Structure 1
């Protein structure tokens, strides 16, 4: 998560490994990747808005 000057969430980043590993191994691999080549990792990562989106309004009909 990237934060702005006020400490508010600005942008989220998500990336996963090509193969399935244990959760601890994934976290370690992500940490090492970010520490060794952050710009390359972020270039491949999926960006998302950390701000919650409005839920869709559900219309219920009485029958």
Structure 2
């Protein structure tokens, strides 16, 4: 079964890709509900993050 909904969130500052992933991981681990409340939600058939 494939996921039908995804979430995308981007940091306010430009960082190296590894740092972005680490920041996203820490944010999700420490306060997942708050992160998902701010994240952009997208349908699986649109794999890119909405603007």
1:26 aligned onto 2:20: yes
Question: What per-residue deviation string (whole Å, max 9, x for no partner) do you get for residues 6-53 of structure 1?
Answer: x3212110000000000000000000000000000000000000025x
Q: Highest CA radius of gyration, 1 or 2?
A: 1
Could you state the TM-score of these two structures normalised by the residue count of structure 1? 0.68
After TM superposition, what 4+ stretches of structure 1 lie above 2 angstroms from structure 2?
none
1:17 aligned onto 2:47: no
Aligned pair count reads 46
Following the alignment from structure 1 to structure 2, what is the Cα–Cα distance between the partners of residues 33 and 39?
Answer: 10
Aligned to 2:44: 50
Q: Structure 1: state its 5+ residue gaps.
A: 1-6, 53-63
Structure holding more helix per residue: 2
